[in-house]
Structure 1
Amino acid sequence: MKENEIFEKAPVSKAYFTMALPVVLSMVVSLIYNMVDTYFIAGTGNTDLVAGVSLGAPVFTLMIALGDIFGLGGSSVISRMFGKKQDDDGRRMSVFCFYAAILCGILVIIIMLAFRMPILHMLGADEDTLCYASAYYTGIVIGAPFIILSFTPSNLLRTEGFAKASMVGTILGAVVNMVLDPVFISLLGFGAAGAAIATVIGYICADLYFLWFLLKRSQKLSVNPVGFHISADELKPIFAIGIPASITNLMQSFGMALTNRFLLPYGNEKVAAMGIVMKVNMIAVLVLVGFAFGAQPLIGYNYGADNKKRLKEILAFCYKFECSLAVILAAALSLAAKPLIRVFMDDAQIVNSGVEMLKYQQMGMLFVAIVLVTTCTFQSAGKAWGAFWLSVSRQGLIFAVVILTASHLAGYTGVLAAQAVSDFLTAVLAILFYRHYFGSQHS
């Protein structure tokens, strides 16, 4: 199917699934990788090691967040440019995003290695978990340029309709990672550091594939810096959308770290259980993210082309499908909570804690769907402030207020319920913002 047919003429459902399914498949493979990673780490039987990697996990999320500045920020701008038939400008933006991601990764290495110990203590590492958290942290930080870069072409390729190529690169990196996990974690005995090394090598392989595809197959995107130029005014829309997109993942790191801090008084076993629960919960979240953000090029292209009728049809389909899927996934994970937790660690205390934690997480899944689609819509349309406030709310400002209040009012149960309450409040905010930005257009 030609690009214009996908973006302009194909039935909405067909265009949606053509663009979104490869993203979802990429997410599912990434999810499988995350579970395999957790499985081999938990297979060591060392609770402190599992907790240490859980404490270091927000650092990996930070890398994804930084990659989203240039991946999601760039794809938002470029898809709207393609919708306006400004192909040359879109090509220049892609060159900037590619090299800016590499430079960002180099800066991350310098800064985060210099402040390694203060950051680890801030994340909650203690004398039992510090060595494991430090090993994972260091490996991930050294690989920052490769991790951050990967999220740029994987997003930009979809603006040209190459959703399958984006999927292939992502899956390639995840498969390499899964194959190397048992080698580095168990066979070579590197433990937490081994998990980080396998992750970085996987991203290097994905980067090489994306580079090959951009050089050989892409017609509208480029990595050629010869004759490149960009103005400050052209950078603003990339960062205006990219930074809120990045903040979404930064807030995920913040939310994970904050949850771990509030669970620490109840023991490292609770932190370890939550680390496993977060992996299982990603079954639902990553699928929802894939379907929500898989539609981003469609929304951006038609918004840029000012095709209001098709844009309205796309958004209506997105909300209905995403919300229905969220309910189904939440019910499935709640029913299968015990066997899913037990796959990773067959410890009665951790399984029982994890089952309760996972069920609380599912209570907010419908609201997560609403927030995801609305955030994607704002990012695609260049509505920076709407995207920003939603990005800092669900696992950031609103979550911080909720978990602080809930922990005082209901103790441990309050900590577990905080995310679902935050999801609901952020969904309300999303609906209000949507009506403000698009109410008159879609009434």
Structure 2
Amino acid sequence: MENKQELFEKAPVWKAYFIISLPVVFSMLVTLIYNMVDTFFVSGTQNADLVAGVSQCTPLFTLMLALGDIFGLGGSSIISRLFGQKDDATAKNVSGFCFYASIISGLIVTGLMFLFQTPILKMLGATDATVKYASQYYFFIAWGAPLIILSLTPSNIIRTEGLALQSMIASVAGSIVNIALDPLFIFTFKMGAGGAALATVMGYVLSDALLIYYILKKSTKLTVSVRHVKIKRQLATSVFLIGIPASLTNLMQSYNMTIINRYLIDYGSKAVAAMGIAIKVNMIIMMIMVGFAFGAQPLIGYSYGAKDNKRLQKIIRFDLLVEVGFSALAAVFIIIFAPHLIGFFMDDSVVVAYGTGMLRWFTLTTPFCGIVLVLTTCFIAMGKAVPSFVLSISRQGVIFTVVILITSACFGYDGIICAQPVADFLTAVVGIFMYAAARKGDQTLRRED
């Protein structure tokens, strides 16, 4: 354990930062590749109703990931601070509580999904043409809910002990199994939409098994034992108070895409298609940035818990340097090559024209997104529920909604595509003010060493 403790306490900031965060970045990229390949195999059925049925169940998958983040991110925030305070016994109990709480949550979700299957499918937009395929996908995803929700807990928690590489291996292995099983279940076994869902669940079976193995064999401070689940009510409440804001990011992303598409539909299907492509290209940059930001969270939480303000400030400054520097370079590249990137996905002059402008607007303000991500993960790592909640619902939620209402009314189409960049800037300003206020009032942040 000495080497791991050295990583958090004495290793050069740049070294500790990249050792912890790079595996997270790689996991994010693999997940992105998996999503694209999964979409490719589902689309390969050439059955529009099947593709639509699978797409209609996507919000359920997003919701499961959000539930998992409550225990994964909320738990890791508390555990990293407890490690910094040298309170390993309490940290172990928190890890046990989060592990089993996520399983129980998954079982509840499974029960509710089967109990209310018909109304849920109707709410998701299933029609007479798609309900057959949506139901097939729904069946396996419902059974797999405990596995999907559970995976987010150990994958985040083991990083608090420096096991970022192991977390990455489990995630990548699960994605590879999913990709390998997709064509087998969908085409060879002729399971269609159900096969796509079963392949996803089987990927999570492997990921969860590896994560549990790493906790049992590699970890010295964490647990999956049911004997270590009892924690004080205050700590349990803190898991939810920190985890819920952190989990809202996934939900806000879905909300954001829905609102943009509703505004763009008046300008035709090609505008909507162009936005979908622009968002996917921009997502590559964003997932790398998210990987760096959340990869640094255990380092921030540990230093904050240890009241090591000098190291804490160095980590935050380096995190900002990486996020802003990378996003600025990526933005320059994408702004220059935007037409080619959009054209790679769809060879349609109208779509390319629309998408080029959208993509350039999106990437123009990615450095501000970097600031927002760093400050959000700082608040999560420090256990500051209110500011983390505000930032989680602002950039793609509250602030974005207010901005698009105003800009679309004033500038029409141009107002729609510039709404997100404007929201990025405003959210960064809000985050900076909140961090300044937190630093002014927090003894740990103000302490001079």
The normalised TM-score by structure 2 is 0.88
Give the CA deviation at 1:220.
0.6
Pair 1:437-2:438 in alignment:
yes
The letter of the residue matching 1:11 is: P
Distance 1:306 1:144, change over 3 A: same
SS at match of 1:293: helix
- Could you say if the C-alpha distance between residues 334 and 37 of structure 1 is closer, same or farther in structure 2, counting changes exceeding 3 Å? farther
Deviation at 1:26, TM superposition (A): 1.0
Q: Would the aligned equivalents of 2:72 and 2:157 in 1 still touch at CA under 8 Å?
A: yes
Match for 1:39: what amino acid? F
Maintained 8 Å contact 1:51/1:272: no
Other-structure match for 1:311: 312
- 1:2 aligned residue: 3
Provide the alpha-carbon RMSD of the alignment: 2.9
| CA distances 1:337-385 after superposition (whole Å, capped 9, x unpaired) | 4554455555666555544443333233111111100000000011111
2:415 and 2:398 map into 1 onto residues whose CA distance is 17
Distance 2:39 2:337 in 1: 18
Gaps of 5+ in 1: none
Q: Is 1:166–2:167 an aligned residue pair?
A: yes
Q: Does structure 1 residue 23 correspond to structure 2 residue 24?
A: yes
Equivalence for 2:326: 325
Is 2:259 the counterpart of 1:258? yes
Report the counterpart of residue 385 of structure 1 in structure 2: 386
Deviation at 1:233, TM superposition (A): 1.6
1:282 aligned residue = 283
- Comparing 82-91 with 253-262, greater Cα deviation is found at 253-262
1:8 partner amino acid? E
- Kept after mapping to 1: 8 A contact 2:372/2:391: yes
- Alpha-carbon distance change, 52 to 407 in structure 1, aligned in 2, over 3 angstroms: farther
CA distance, structure 2, for counterparts of residue 84 and residue 55 of structure 1: 45
Supply the AA of the counterpart residue of 1:18.
I
Structure 1 residues 293 and 260, CA gap change in structure 2 (3 angstroms): same
Q: 1:372 to 1:411 in 2, by over 3 A?
A: same
SS at match of 2:371: helix
- How do 1:86-165 residues align onto structure 2 when only pairs under 5 Å count? 86-115=87-116, 136=137, 139-165=140-166
The answer for unaligned runs of 5 or more in structure 2 is none
Q: TM-score, normalised by structure 1?
A: 0.90
What does residue range 181-330 of structure 1 map to in structure 2 within 5 Å? 181-188=182-189, 190=191, 192-226=193-227, 228-266=229-267, 270-330=271-331
Partner secondary structure for residue 418 of structure 2: helix
Structure 1 position 335, deviation (Å): 3.9
State which structure, 1 or 2, has the greater radius of gyration over its C-alpha atoms.
Answer: 2
**Contact 2:141–2:197 (8 Å) recurs in 1:** yes
CA contact (8 A) 2:278 2:358 kept: yes
Aligned residue identity for 2:365:
G
Aligned partners of 1:63 and 1:48: how far apart in 2?
24
Bigger mean CA deviation after superposition, 331-340 or 70-79 = 331-340
Q: Deviations over 1:380-402 (max 9, x none)?
A: 01111110100111111112222
Equivalents in 2 of 1:272, 1:185: separation in Å?
26
Residues 94-150 of structure 1: CA deviation (Å, up to 9, x unaligned): 111111111111222333455556556655667776666665555444422111111
Equivalent-residue separation in structure 2 for 1:119 and 1:278 (angstroms): 27
More displaced, 190-199 or 163-172? 190-199
Q: Is the 8 A contact 1:299 1:380 kept in 2?
A: yes
Output the CA distance in 1 between the equivalents of 2:144 and 2:58: 14
Distance 1:187 1:293 in 2: 39
| Aligned partners of 1:51 and 1:129 also within 8 Å | yes
Hey, what's the Cα distance between the residues in 2 that align with 1:261 and 1:121?
Answer: 20
Q: Which amino acid aligns with 2:97?
A: F
| Native 8 Å contact 2:97 2:228 kept in 1 | no
Measured at CA, do residues 56 and 271 of structure 1 come closer, stay the same or move farther in structure 2, by a change above 3 Å? Answer: farther
Relative to structure 1, the CA distance from residue 84 to residue 202 in structure 2 (aligned partners, 3 Å threshold; closer, same or farther) is same
The structure-2 alpha-carbon separation of the partners of 1:318 and 1:290, relative to structure 1 and needing over 3 Å to count, comes to: same
Asked whether the 8 Å contact 1:244–1:384 carries over to 2, the reply is yes
With over 3 angstroms needed to count, the CA separation of the structure-2 counterparts of 1:228 and 1:197, relative to structure 1, is closer
Alignment of 1:391-406 (within 5 A): 391-406=392-407
CA distance in 2, matches of 1:392, 1:216: 38
Give the counterpart letter for 1:22 in structure 2.
Answer: P
1:418-440 deviations in whole A, cap 9, x for unaligned?
Answer: 22222121111111111111247
Deviating more after overlay: 112-121 vs 330-339: 112-121
Equivalent-residue separation in structure 2 for 1:122 and 1:335 (angstroms): 42
Question: Is 1:338–1:355's contact at 8 Å kept on the other side of the alignment?
Answer: yes
The SS at the match of 2:86 is: coil
- Paired AA for residue 94 in structure 2: M
| SS of the residue 1:143 aligns to | helix
Aligned 8 A contact 2:100 2:229 in 1: no
Kept in 2, the 8 Å contact 1:98–1:149? The answer is yes
Distance in 2 (CA, whole Å) between partners of 1:345 and 1:173 is 30
* Range moving further from structure 2, 129-138 or 391-400: 129-138
Residue 414 (structure 1) aligns with: 415
Which residue does 1:366 correspond to in 2? 367
Residue 178 of structure 2 is matched in structure 1 by 177
Q: 1:413 to 1:182 in 2, by over 3 A?
A: farther
2:317 and 2:190 map into 1 onto residues whose CA distance is 51
Q: CA deviation at 1:180?
A: 2.3
